[in-house]
Amino acid sequence: MTGWLRGVLVEICLAAALFAIAVVIAVLVDLPHVALLVRP
Amino acid sequence: MKEWRVILYYTGRTLFGFALLMVVPALVGLVEGDYSSVAIFVFSAGLTATFAQLLSLAVGRPERQLEWKHGLAIVALTWLLATLFGAVPDVLSGYYLSYLDAVFDVMSGFTTTGLTLIQHPDTISDALNTWRFLLTYVGGQGIIVMALVFFVNEVGAFKIYAGEGKDERLLPNVRNTAREIWRISLTYLVIGSLLLSAVLWFGGLAAPRAVLNGVWMFMSAWSTGGFAPHSENLLYYHNAFFEYAATGFAVLGSLNFAFHHALWQGKWKEIRRNLEFLTFVFTLNFLWIFVAVGLIKTGAYNGLVSLMRIGYLELVSAHTTTGFMSVYAGQLAHSWGNVALIGLTVAMMLGGSASSTAGGFKALRIGILWKALVLDVRRFLLPESAVVRMRFHHISDVLLTDERVKAAALIIILYLITWAIGSMTLLLYGYPLGMSLFEAASATANAGLSTGVTSAAMPWVIKVVFTLMMWMGRLEFLSVFVFFSYIVRGVFDR
């Protein structure tokens, strides 16, 4: 595989990993007992 | 006068290259049989090229070598003139209420901001849309970077290149650096346009529209611009996969070209060691906690799916300074609540990476200031006689010097001053505090999110102030200050 293609694939995986981290954070923040703390 | 000769000669050369860009939308008009657009763009190209050539011919080829100060002034003047001439086809199209509105829009496109004053964007010609997105795409890589590849081949070219806010050399030769930037951008242009077009086509858009929308939206995403061919921006497409893909390309566009280059060379350790990338990941996720909590608190979006699709995509859009809107401006202003809005405002100000298409403080500067703070704390904890040094990794190992810290802090302070001036201008005209801070941050950091303040109806003073803010923010101040000091000296030295 050429360098640029491997680089592009890795970078797309990086962006996807960022979204995955955000999902984990959102799940943790949205857990009922956590959400109850911040909801009025 | 000799110094002005150098500045004007190279400005003319670069502007001539810019004029040739107008051929692209003219060709789109020609293919579609839209001859009024062809006439508009041919006239505008001719006007710009004639002015540029006359400028270069009038001053003649300078004998003096290019110096740093000339390079900085050339960049500032080129961006200004390119904006003024780039607005000619816009205003001739009839979709702007005034020339000032067109200038605002072109500066917004060029600086990859994304705030717009266009009227009825859903009905404009494909040629004009192509022009708007091409401006964003070229502005993202840099006019000078484009000129260095295609039109200017001079000794000392790095002195012009560095003035555009992209002062990193990917390769030893500055021309090869500019070429590498374009190689990365054009590779992504092909891949990204194909992907986005395919998504839209599968989503039900007719093939020609899917291709045009795919190419335009990729240009907007990669350049962290935020323009869209429809007034509803991202919302128009009603396609979650498209929204995630477009925002994903905005993330890639906001990364440092040197980082892309390193990864393309197989230097994977950059992912876990690069200070700039790690700072970006940290601030993005840190702010996401705030924004998510803020949105849950107000009850704006219930459930993980909407929290991610609207809340997170807006945050990424802000942090990469893209400005894609997946909510209406009114919702942003009235439903998001203070915590989430402040989160977005801070995200816009922090911005993406240095030497990328993004605006804002830049993650590298934040990382350098953080390291400096750690270093100072360490100095206090160790014996007074101890010599403490710190290094950070950004493509290579770099020693943290006072000079680097000062340079990073100075640019951040200038961003804050500009933000304050913009906010105060809006406050003077009676806009609420929260909206003023948000909108001014959006213009200063070249982000483009809006709570509805930016419109053709806003006072002309705000349009002028915002135009200047976008210009200075994109060029990171120094070029503009050097340019103004030349003007002041020219006036007072007579």
Interchain CB contact of A2 with B (< 8 Å): no
pLDDT reported for residue A39: 58
Q: Check CB contact under 8 Å for A30 and B248.
A: no
Interchain CB contact of A20 with B (< 8 Å): no
In whole angstroms, what is the distance from residue B81 CA to residue B10 CA?
13
DSSP H or E segment with residue B399: strand B396-399
Question: Does the predicted TM-score (pTM) go above 0.95?
Answer: no
Dump pLDDT digits (tens) for B10-64: 899 889 989 999 999 999 999 999 999 999 999 999 999 999 999 999 988 887 7
Dump pLDDT digits (tens) for A1-40: 688 899 999 999 999 999 999 999 998 887 765 666 665 5
pLDDT reported for residue B30: 97
- Chain B nearest-CA distance from A20, in A, is 10
A36: nearest CA partner in chain B: B297
Q: Please tell me the number of Cα atoms within 13 Å of B408 on its side-chain side.
A: 22
In whole angstroms, what is the distance from residue B437 CA to residue B435 CA?
6
Dump pLDDT digits (tens) for B270-329: 999 999 999 999 999 999 999 999 998 888 887 888 999 999 999 999 999 999 999 999
Interchain CB contact of A19 with B (< 8 Å): yes
Q: Check CB contact under 8 Å for B285 and A21.
A: yes
A28, A30, A33, A34: which to substitute to probe chain B, counting the most B Cβ within 10 Å? A30
DSSP H or E segment with residue B102: helix B99-110
B194, B308, B338, B353: which to substitute to probe chain A, counting the most A Cβ within 10 Å? B308
Q: Which of A14, A25, A38 sits opposite B271 (nearest CB)?
A: A14
Report, as ranges of residue numbers, the positions in chain B whose pLDDT lies below 70: 1, 146-167, 169, 491-494
* Contacts (Cβ under 8 Å, ≥6 apart) of B419: B349, B437, B440, B441, B444, B445
pLDDT reported for residue B159: 61
Our measurement of the distance from residue B167's CA atom to the centroid of its chain's CA atoms, rounded to an integer in Å, reads 15
Contacts of A26 in chain B (CB under 8 A): 288, 292, 304, 307-308, 311-312
Q: What are phi and psi of B432, to 5 degrees?
A: -65, 155
In whole angstroms, what is the distance from residue B469 CA to residue B462 CA?
10
Residue with token string 């710190």: B390
Please determine, for the modelled complex, whether the ipTM score is greater than 0.95. no
Q: Please classify residue B332 by burial: count the beta carbons closer than 10 Å to its beta carbon, then call 0-12 exposed, 13-18 middle and 19+ buried.
A: buried
Q: Check CB contact under 8 Å for A11 and B252.
A: yes
Q: Which residues on adjacent β-strands are paired with residue B394? A: B396
A1-16 burial code (b ≥16 CB/10 A, e <16): eeebeebbeebbebbe
Q: What are phi and psi of B22, to 5 degrees?
A: -70, -15
* Contacts (Cβ under 8 Å, ≥6 apart) of B84: B103
* Contacts (Cβ under 8 Å, ≥6 apart) of B416: none
Q: Is B115 helix (H, G, I), strand (E, B) or coil?
A: coil
pLDDT reported for residue A36: 61
Q: What's the angle, vertex CA B110, arms to CA B66 and CA B235, rounded to 5?
A: 160
- Residue B40 near residue B89, CB atoms below 8 Å: yes
A34: nearest CA partner in chain B: B293
In whole angstroms, what is the distance from residue B62 CA to residue B75 CA?
17
Residue with token string 């040629």: B127
Contacts of B284 in chain A (CB under 8 A): 18
